[in-house]
Amino acid sequence: MTDFNIYVSTNEVPRSALDLMRAVGKVRVFDGAAAPPRDLLLKEVAGADALFCVLTEKVDAELFARAAKLKAVANMAVGFDNIDLAEATRKGVMVTNTPDVLTETTADATMALVLAAARRIAEGDRLIRRGGWKLRWSPMMMVGHDVYGKTLGIYGLGRIGAAVAKRASGFGMKLVYYDSNRNRDLEERLGASYVPFDDLLKEADFLTVHVPLLPSTRKSIGGRQLGLMKKTAYIINTSRGQVIDEASLVRALEEKTIAGAGIDVFEDEPIGPASPIAKLENVVLTPHLASASVETRTEMAMMAARNVVAALKGEVPPNLVNREVLRAGAVPADRGS
Ligand code: GLV
């Protein structure tokens, strides 16, 4: 059992998660501050039985071609758009993610962006720091928009979308949603109404994005869709940057055809001060941190480690995303569930 080789692509995994994996194999951890350079990653996976990685690693056909022994890829993220799932399945490699554990944390961050964008929190902070607060109080200084009583448009009513809906109810918001799978049960429980996508864009005072990145959702919010939104509306994204066409978003924010945005994820991460979106006052930016609480990130690492352990023990990992791989015999039939 301990002959297994496990490669961990980040040195920020808690010891408890590494210890879990050490019980089933030899664990090599990338020893650098950022992500492993591509050639190193390809070299390391060549001898690996399992890869514990994060969303900055591109786990594609080239990687699978190099990784002849690979049995499992455990992504320490709920999203797995960095992994070529079809190719993994073809090669008989199990892919796992970390759902549920980050739902509430991500929903909290989403509401933080709703509030920060609407009430100009980051802009106010910048104003003070640059010495721009001159009058003690004036009637129209830093006025934003109310959140209470407004319509929240939820694009993707999955686990995180639903957790955001619950919070928004507490803020007295009206809830509308669009999802490719209508869920009447959840609608009833949350008090949310289903609307077609274009109506979602037209009705939302705050449009919050919670769809995964798929071919069908990539750039699904572009110039046309932004053009349907109210002039007073805000867009919030804690999902994946590529769901929104960023150049169109920047244009809408510059031309003020929408009021503002709260953005945690970007088309090409990381971004810096030279990025066009970072030059705008009417957007609150955070560096892909929506699930970043100590508790959640620690549990995400533990989950990913448990998935590695299960896969290497020949069990079905708890968070297997490509279940079709079981049919291809990744796990002996009597152990598949
Ligand atoms: C973070 O973006 C995740 O997918 O977990």
**What average pLDDT does this structure show over 191-214?**
98
Specify if 335 maps to a domain.
no
Print the domain residue range for 248.
103-285
Per-residue pLDDT reduced to its tens digit, 221-245? 999 999 999 999 999 999 999 999 9
Task: Please indicate, yes or no, whether residues 278 and 310 belong to a single structural domain of this protein.
Answer: no
Just list the catalytic residues: 240, 269, 288
Q: Note whether residue 218 is domain-resident.
A: yes
Instruction: Report the domain count for the chain.
Output: 2
Among 10, 49, 5, smallest CA distance to 26 is for 5
Task: Give a yes or no: residue 146 inside a domain.
Answer: yes
- Runs of H (alpha helix) within the chain: 15-22, 38-45, 61-66, 85-90, 103-118, 121-129, 159-170, 184-190, 197-203, 223-228, 246-254, 294-312, 324-327
Same domain assignment for residues 133 and 15 = no
Same-domain status, 70 and 185: no
User: For residue 332, is the peptide bond before it cis, meaning its omega torsion is within 30 degrees of 0?
Assistant: no
- Same domain, residue pair 214 and 231: yes
Residue with CA closest to ligand 1 atom 5: 77
Same domain, 91 and 186: no
Give yes or no for a contact between 104 and 164, defined as CB atoms under 8 angstroms apart.
no
Beta-sheet pairing, 50-53 with 4-8:
parallel
Cα distance between residue 244 and residue 22, in whole Å: 40
336 inside domain: no
Are 183 and 112 found together in one domain? yes
Distance of CA 105 from the midpoint of ligand 1 (Å): 11
Does the pLDDT at position 265 exceed 90? yes
Buried b (16+ CB within 10 A) or exposed e, 239-248: bbbbbbbbeb
Query: Please, are residues 13 and 300 in contact by the beta-carbon 8 Å criterion?
Result: no
Name the residue among 34, 246, 231, 59 with its Cα closest to residue 145.
231
Confirm whether 92 is domain-assigned.
Answer: yes
Mean pLDDT of 303-331: 94
Q: Note the pLDDT tens digit of each residue in 66-114.
A: 999 999 999 999 999 999 999 999 999 999 999 999 999 999 999 999 9
For tokens 């352990």, the residue is 309
114/182 same-domain check: yes
| Residue that is last in its domain, among 251, 268, 285 | 285
Residue 163 belongs to a domain with what CATH number? 3.40.50.720
261 lines ligand 1 (CB under 6 A): no
CA distance 262 to 133: 23
Strand partners, 153: 176, 207
Domain assignment present for residue 194? The answer is: yes
Helix (H, G, I), strand (E, B) or coil at 101: coil
Contact between 330 and 94 under an 8 Å Cβ cutoff? The reply is: yes
- In the structure, what pLDDT confidence band is assigned to residue 334 with cuts at 50, 70 and 90? very low
Q: Do β-strands 50-53 and 234-237 pair in parallel, antiparallel, or remain unpaired? A: unpaired
Q: What are phi and psi of 117, to 5 degrees?
A: -70, -45
For residue 209, tell me if it sits in a domain: yes
**Beta sheet of 283-285, edge-to-edge order:** 192-194, 174-178, 151-155, 206-209, 234-237, 260-263, 283-285
pLDDT, position 329: 75
> For the sheet containing 4-8, what is the strand order?
25-29, 4-8, 50-53, 72-75, 94-96
Q: In this structure, are residues 59 and 84 in contact, taking their beta carbons and an 8 Å threshold?
A: yes
What are the CA-CA distances from residue 117 to residues 122, 183, 266, 277, 279 (Å)? Answer: 8, 29, 17, 14, 15
Taking CA 34 as the corner, what is the angle to CA 28 and CA 36, rounded to the nearest 5 degrees? 45
Q: Is 77 in the pocket of ligand 1 (CB under 6 A)?
A: yes
pLDDT attached to residue 333 = 47
The band of 207, judged by pLDDT with boundaries at 50, 70 and 90, is very high
Q: How far is CA 71 from CA 68, 88, 133, 331, in A?
A: 9, 9, 58, 10
For the CA of 265, the nearest atom of ligand 1 = 2
Same domain, yes or no: 130 and 233: yes
What pLDDT does 111 receive? 98
Rounded CA separation 230/280 (Å): 19
pLDDT grade, residue 328 (50/70/90)?
confident
Are residues 264 and 166 part of one domain?
yes
In a domain, 332, yes or no: no
When mean pLDDT is compared across 31-35, 124-128, 136-140, 300-304, the lowest value belongs to: 31-35
Indicate whether 118 and 207 sit together in one domain.
Answer: yes
- Determine if ligand 1 sits within 6 Å of the CB of residue 79: yes
Q: Is 336 in the pocket of ligand 1 (CB under 6 A)?
A: no
One domain for residues 227 and 107: yes
- Token pair 């071609």 is found at 65
Protein residue whose Cα sits closest to atom 4 of ligand 1 = 79
- Does residue 211 share a domain with residue 89? no
